[in-house]
Amino acid sequence: MNLKKDVKIKLIVAFIIIVASIYLALTKPIKLGLDLQGGISIVLETDIDTVLKNKYKQIGSEIQEILKNKNIDVLDLKVSKDGLVITLLDNSKIEEAKNIILSKYKNLFNLKVSQDNIILTFSKAYLENLKKDVVNRTIEVLRRRIDEFGTLNPNIAKLGDKRILVELPGVVDPERAKAIIGKTAQLEILEVVDYALSKIELLKKYPDGLPKGTKILEGVPRDINGQKVQEWFLVKDTPIITGDDLKDAQVRLDQYGKPAVDFELKSSSADKFGEATARLIGKRMAIVLDNKVISAPVVRSRISNAGQITGDFTSQEASDLALVLRAGALPAPVKILEERLIGPTLGKDSIQKTVNAGIVALMLVGLFMIFRYAISGFISIIALLINGLLLWAVIVAFGITLTLPGIAGIILNIGMAVDANVIIFERIREELKRGKTLRVSLEEGFNRAWDAILDAQITTLIAAFVLFQFGTGPLKGFAATLSIGTITSIFTAMFITKLLLDVIIGDKKTMKYAI
């Protein structure tokens, strides 16, 4: 068999590609989705109302300070269902206050005056941007937490305006996963003003009301000499530092050999923390997580860039606390609306059924192609097998998660890949009927088939892109395998199939059976 030089080079290239694909397929494990290996699916809803309320409070404090600097005293400032309500001590200064607020927050608020009150409501554009930002940041924090948790191949997707879908394949401890995902993990370190063993006892100390800028927080029950003791703390509203100031958090043992969490501060926050702890030597400092005091140690010396969170933690609790602190606090509280557990048995059954369907489809397609096109039909089956190998190699190489719809995409790709070969073979037959030689018909057939194949595959890629962009996990799996399979089928049809036909035509004994 005499082969041209370019055919020999193409054979070497094809051999290298096939060997590399076999190596990837055998050495790298495939990542399976939730529907194939089991796991947990959770639908979360972000509490946008709480974010809005906190945002109103934050901006309200800023406005109060700005007006105070302009000698305009605020009598009362509260958040209601209408928005931020500001009451001035001197009503004659309402117009002046309006102008000051609008000059500072022109595009942020809609402002109106009602019964001597200034009422501010966020603009529609700001509300839309805030909602998007909160959901996107929540997704990012959840992704970091899940990466720390160690779960492989999570699917985290936005559902509507404020809902989020979280799919965790292969999770063996659903309760722990839910606790880590759902914990807001808003860390604050606050100055302790006073404390008592009950809330009533603490309130009795302040018959005229709590000091301005303070609040009461519940402490976590602790074991002291075999008895459960729970303290209540009067703390300052403004935190010394928050979870945003943390650089790192790791599990360590405290002085009593119990699990604790050591934290390290960012350099920008270390000086602020150092000044506060120097001022509070001999006093207590509350470490607050999600509005509960988990510990309130006495400050013994100045602390600058590091500290320790102690409590009655188990090793797992300390590890999970360090995890959520490293990943960051959720920008909004979330609640679980729906959860589903999927067992691995269902996934195995699904794999077996779809693999069987793929084998049957391949056999039927193969029989048809051999019956219709003889040796060329057999060549198309070889190209189809190589296409499947390349597709699998790309999936494992890029770490793409395989889902049940993804397998359906692979099976669909079998028909699409054969379709390209059918177009090529029919074009070659048309050229042969015009009296051209087999080699000329081969070249013309591939050239004429290229435009039709390319147009069909581009439309498929566009549809796959839209599905991947706007679909959720399973649809993305389908779109991924469909798009990759489309690209590999173009390669196998135009390169592998033509290469094998070139080899066949180079052999006089077989060339007459080629088409």
The one-letter amino acid code at 373 reads: Y
Q: Where are the alpha helices (H) located in 151-305, listed in sequence order?
A: 174-182, 199-204, 267-279
Buried b or exposed e, range 151-174, using 16+ CB within 10 angstroms: bbbbbbeeeeebbbbbbbbbbeee
Q: Indicate the DSSP class of residue 257.
A: S
Phi, psi of 78 (to 5 degrees): -145, 160
From 66, 51, 129, select the one nearest 102 (Cα to Cα): 66
Q: How far apart are CA 382 and CA 362, in angstroms?
A: 11
CA atoms within 13 A on the CB side of 445: 29
Q: Where are the alpha helices (H) located in 310-374, listed in sequence order?
A: 315-327, 344-373
277: number of Cβ within 10 Å? 20
pLDDT in tens, 57-97: 878 888 888 888 888 888 888 888 778 888 888 878 888 88
Same fold? 5-38+344-511, 131-338: no
Record the tokens describing residue 416, joined without a space. Answer: 């699409």
Fold type of domain 48-126: Gyrase A; domain 2 (3.30.1360)
Q: Indicate the DSSP class of residue 284.
A: B
Strand stretches in 131-186, DSSP E: 155-159, 163-169
- pLDDT of 513 higher than 60: no
Which residues lie closer than 8 Å to 161 by C-beta, 6 or more apart? 131, 135
Select from 3.40.50.2000, 2.40.30.70, 3.30.1360.200, 3.20.20.480 the CATH code of 131-338.
Answer: 3.30.1360.200
How, if at all, do strands 31-32 and 401-402 pair? parallel
pLDDT bin (cut points 50, 70, 90) of residue 345 is: low
- pLDDT of 172 higher than 50: yes
From 190, 182, 217, 188, select the one nearest 330 (Cα to Cα): 182
- pLDDT of 383 higher than 80: yes
Q: Indicate the DSSP class of residue 157.
A: E
From 145, 188, 187, select the one nearest 166 (Cα to Cα): 145
The pTM assigned to this predicted structure is: 0.60
The residue behind tokens 């659903």 is 174
The share of the chain scoring above pLDDT 70, in percent, equals 90
pLDDT in tens, 30-66: 777 777 777 888 888 888 888 888 788 878 888 888 8
- pLDDT of 507 higher than 70: no
Mean pLDDT of the chain: 80
What pLDDT does 91 receive?
79
Q: How far apart are CA 124 and CA 120, in angstroms?
A: 12
Q: Which residues make beta-bridge pairs with 194?
A: 234
pLDDT bin (cut points 50, 70, 90) of residue 153 is: low
What radius of gyration, in Å, describes the C-alpha atoms of the chain? 34
273: number of Cβ within 10 Å? 21
Q: Indicate the DSSP class of residue 195.
A: E
The SS3 assignment for 363 reads: helix
What pLDDT does 66 receive?
85
148: number of Cβ within 10 Å? 16
CA atoms within 13 A on the CB side of 238: 5
From 96, 237, 80, select the one nearest 88 (Cα to Cα): 96
Record the tokens describing residue 454, joined without a space. Answer: 């390319």
Record the tokens describing residue 211, joined without a space. Answer: 């000091």
For the chain, how many helices (H) and strands (E)? 16, 21
Buried b or exposed e, range 67-93, using 16+ CB within 10 angstroms: beeeebebeebeeeeebbbbebeeeeb
Lowest mean pLDDT among 151-165, 419-433, 451-465, 478-492: 151-165
Q: Which residues make beta-bridge pairs with 83?
A: 80
Q: How far apart are CA 39 and CA 175, in angstroms?
A: 12
377, 62 contact by CB (below 8 A)? no
Max Cα separation, the chain?
109
Q: Which residues make beta-bridge pairs with 189?
A: 241, 287
Rounded to an integer, the average pLDDT of 416-431 is: 83
Per-domain residue ranges of the chain? 5-38+344-511, 48-126, 131-338
What pLDDT does 16 receive?
92
Record the tokens describing residue 281, joined without a space. Answer: 């030597």
The one-letter amino acid code at 338 reads: E
The DSSP secondary structure of 243-305, one letter per residue, reads: GGGEEEEEEEE-TTS-EEEEEEE-HHHHHHHHHHHHHTTTSBEEEEETTEEEE-PBP-S---S
Residue 178 zone, left/alpha/beta (φ > 0; ψ -120 to 50; rest):
alpha
CA distances to 194, 434, 494 from 125, rounded to whole Å, are 43, 67, 51
The SS3 assignment for 128 reads: helix
User: Which class does domain 5-38+344-511 fall in?
Assistant: mainly alpha
What pLDDT does 508 receive?
47
Q: How far apart are CA 472 and CA 348, in angstroms?
A: 22
CA atoms within 13 A on the CB side of 481: 27
- Dihedral of CA 70/71/76/82: which sign? negative
60: number of Cβ within 10 Å? 18
- pLDDT of 360 higher than 80: yes
